[in-house]
């Protein structure tokens, strides 16, 4: 699954990063996360955005609350999503890359919300996806 552009301003400083962002296939990342947390879900199409010249790719799954076991009684709107991320240019190789911290985000039925990190992932054309589990 490839990302789509939303609210993107392209300038001379980020054009290469925006172009690179459109080529990343998120299918392997999404399958890895689903296997890691043992849920079955779909992901909405990732969205590329820019802010002050920086490039970001955000994504979110559909609701996984029913798959949270005993916690389903006290949670609502649980999903897997990009928490922190960025598209960058490696200072040594000049190769573009993407990094993302993937979290499970949820709301408490009585109010409030929270989340927990699941995995941090990096992507470059040369290496593909590399994963570091939060509890490893």
Tokens representing 95 are 């190769």
User: How many Cα atoms within 13 Å fall on the side-chain side of residue 7?
Assistant: 11
CA-to-CA distance for 44 and 27, rounded, in angstroms?
11
The pTM is what?
0.92
pLDDT digits (tens, 9 = 90+) for 65-117: 999 999 999 999 999 999 999 999 999 999 999 999 999 999 999 899 999 99
Helix ranges, 5-133 (H): 15-21, 27-37
Hey, where are the domains in the chain?
A: 4-133
9 and 27 in contact (C-beta within 8 Å)? no
Tell which residue, 103, 115, 98, has the closest CA to residue 36: 103
CA-to-CA distance for 9 and 54, rounded, in angstroms?
10
pLDDT digits (tens, 9 = 90+) for 33-68: 999 999 999 999 999 999 888 999 999 999 999 999
26 and 2 in contact (C-beta within 8 Å)? yes
């Amino acid at each position: 699954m490839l990302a789509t552009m939303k609210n993107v301003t392209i300038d001379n400083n980020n054009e290469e990063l925006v172009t690179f962002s459109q080529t990343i296939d998120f299918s392997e990342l999404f399958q890895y996360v689903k296997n890691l947390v043992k849920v079955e879900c779909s992901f909405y199409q990732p969205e590329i955005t820019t802010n002050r010249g920086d490039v970001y790719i955000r994504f979110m799954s559909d609701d996984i609350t029913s798959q949270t076991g005993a916690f389903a009684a006290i949670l609502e709107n649980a999903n897997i999503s990009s928490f922190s991320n960025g598209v960058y240019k490696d200072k040594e190789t000049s190769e573009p890359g993407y990094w993302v911290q993937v979290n499970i985000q949820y709301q408490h039925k009585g109010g409030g919300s929270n989340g927990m990190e699941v995995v941090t992932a990096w992507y470059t054309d040369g290496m593909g996806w590399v994963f570091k589990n939060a509890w490893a």
